[in-house]
Amino acid sequence: MRGITDKISNETYINLAMLVSLVVLFFLARLALPKFASIANIQNLISNQWYIILLGIGVTHLLIAGYFDMSVGGIVAMAGVLSVYFCQGNTSTASELSRGLNLPYGISIALTLLACLGIGAVNSFFIAKLKVASIIITLGTMSVARGIAQILTQGAQRNTDLPDVFTVIGKTSIPGTSMTIAVLIVAVFVILAIVVEKKTVFGRRIYQIGANQNAARLSGVKVERQVTILYLISALLAGITGILLASEFGAGYSSRGRGYEFDALVITLLGGTSINGGFGSAFGTVIGALIISVITSTATGLLLRPEWQYIIKGAATFIAIMAQRYALEKRMNNG
């Protein structure tokens, strides 16, 4: 058995360990809640986390490269509100929140994503070019993006006079399931992320930058350009998340996405991505999201109060991260 584990990479080793943890947690939840393993509940476990997984892809790749992106929650709110505002009709006189720009759906989505890319461009300019700490800049742009959403909604929401096409993606279910098309969209992005990580030069450079940025630069990697692309991708994924959520609920909320940046970071770390960079994967992030989903769903099923659910989630995350660190150190010492 030891010979087999010695041949796999640390990343695969951690992914397998977290996968085993997920299976164990699932069966423990099954013992506590007899109906936990039902098909309907499994679909709910996936549906409850798709938007965090989509955000987590961008956050994961940036963290592997050694950078943070705390702006994604604000971008989710801004994207949802902008997509609604651009699509809303302008004939109503009842309320300012009932009037928008009445643009075609395709143009509205394109403009929304361009605005999100603008936030990503600001992040990359200050971080990649001016070398400002990523956590400081992205916390600032998170506030800017959410501020735009609050201005357009007056701190509330926009949800009237929308074209029928606006809610098609968000409300259409996958045939035979209770999951929406958004889950399939996220699955496609996860597969693309894994392919990029494993099969492309761009993906390998992400790990090189995170492991040793100076060495990567000396080996010919254009670090600034690579980091810029990563921030643009992260902002784009956050924008898509906001649009999908707005489509699902038929509304743009200024409070949407609050705390999502921390949830995305939690599932990324829980999935085995190193907070110091150079290590991690999108697959691990998916496992981390499912672990959180199992924990929170079990806590809800046991009728635990919300504050206890936060404590359990935090404790589980802490224990998982420490276990990953211990497992890797022990493996390296035994090697």
Q: Give me 77's structure tokens.
A: 């709110």
User: What is the pTM (predicted TM-score) of this model?
Assistant: 0.93
157 pairs with which residues across the strands? 253
**pLDDT confidence of residue 324:** 66
**pLDDT confidence of residue 8:** 58
**Residue 252 backbone dihedrals phi, psi, to 5 degrees:** -110, 115
**pLDDT confidence of residue 193:** 97
**pLDDT confidence of residue 90:** 82
**pLDDT confidence of residue 258:** 93
Contact 243, 114 (CB under 8 A): no
**pLDDT confidence of residue 306:** 75
Q: Which whole-number Å values give the CA distances from 330 to 10, 209, 310, 318, 327, in the listed order?
A: 11, 25, 30, 18, 5
**pLDDT confidence of residue 331:** 60
pLDDT beneath 50: ranges in the chain: 1-7
Structural domains of the chain ordered from first start: 12-334 (1.10.3470)
**pLDDT confidence of residue 68:** 96
**pLDDT confidence of residue 2:** 47
Residue 83 makes CB contacts below 8 A (sequence gap 6+) with 108, 109, 112, 166, 242, 243, 246, 247, 252
Contact 268, 69 (CB under 8 A): no
**pLDDT confidence of residue 279:** 85
